[in-house]
Amino acid sequence: MKRGVLSGIGAYALWGFFPIYWKFLHNISALQLIGHRIAWSFILLMGVILTSGQWADFRNTFNAGNFRIYLIASLLIGANWLIYVWSVNAGHIVETSLGYFINPLFSVLLGLIILREKLRRTQWIPVVIAFLGVVYLAITFGRLPWIALSLAFSFGFYGLVKKLAPLSSLYGLTLETGILFIPALVYLGFVQVNGTGAFLHTGVNSDLLMIGAGLVTTVPLLMFASAAKSIPLTMIGILQYLAPTIQFLLGIFVYKEEFDHTQLIGFSIVWLALVIFWVENYLANRLPVEPIPELGEG
């Protein structure tokens, strides 16, 4: 459990700083960036599998059942990547952070409804507070926050699929990117042929960053997949507040995006919920008290 929590924290911290990386590539279309992200991620993962002598084992995972579940996962994460990269480079980092503030609540909801996970009675307090904060943020936003909602739902369902998926984090992510690899390669080849491709035409630094997208993509995703396998989805949902908090701070203080006092109130409510959750979790795991009955138990 402890290792899973640490993996989750590591993944979300790295995702929190992602806007900095993509801002260096703001002059390249989001679709091309996602194509490179998929292609180089798959090449990197296949390199790991081949050099570690795991090809035979990985090949044995090829069956219709695994393909179906990882096809769903690949479509969800592909859509999430595309929306996120476009939003960051279009100047909507604060709204992306709202999406990832909503996402944990959605993960908690999926865990409760679909996986029948349970919360201690005291854990409901931060969940309800966070929900109220997100509702307040959505109302004060002034319009339907489609970027935030799209990111929340796509990654929330992705987390659920990864929780139910049968393969290890390495094999699963390789299969996901492998499913998207051919379409990505075809698209990248097309833009190179018609003269609109960025690779090899925008400078060495941009080329290296596009190649490096594979590394910065696979490391946190492997950490996330490991966490999803070993800790409850409800806990994953709460840990996810780390990434949007970092993204929010970057959007406001580094990239100077618009932010008013009404949004500050909403974000403060969500942060309060996170503090309460950590205190409750610490006390529940460290103090020698009788366990609190879970809701739904007699």
Other beta carbons within 10 Å of 196: 11
Show the domain range for 248: 2-286
pLDDT score for 295: 35
Tokens read off for 29: 């279309």
The model scores a pTM over 0.85: no
pLDDT score for 82: 95
Q: How far apart are CA 111 and CA 156, in angstroms?
A: 10
Indicate whether 297 belongs to any domain. Answer: no
pLDDT score for 234: 66
Indicate whether 131 belongs to any domain. Answer: yes
pLDDT score for 289: 46
Other beta carbons within 10 Å of 61: 17
Q: How far apart are CA 108 and CA 235, in angstroms?
A: 8
pLDDT score for 285: 67
pLDDT score for 6: 87
Indicate whether 230 belongs to any domain. Answer: yes
pLDDT score for 278: 73
pLDDT score for 202: 87
Which residues, in sequence order, are CB contacts of 133 under 8 Å at separation 6+? 101, 266, 267, 268, 269, 270, 272, 273
Q: How far apart are CA 64 and CA 94, in angstroms?
A: 40
Q: How far is CA 214 from CA 33, 150, 166, 204, 208, in A?
A: 11, 23, 23, 16, 11
Q: How far apart are CA 60 and CA 56, in angstroms?
A: 6
pLDDT score for 233: 66
pLDDT score for 115: 83
Q: How many structural domains does the chain have?
A: 1
Indicate whether 292 belongs to any domain. Answer: no
Q: Which ranges of the chain have pLDDT less than 50?
A: 289-298
Indicate whether 53 belongs to any domain. Answer: yes
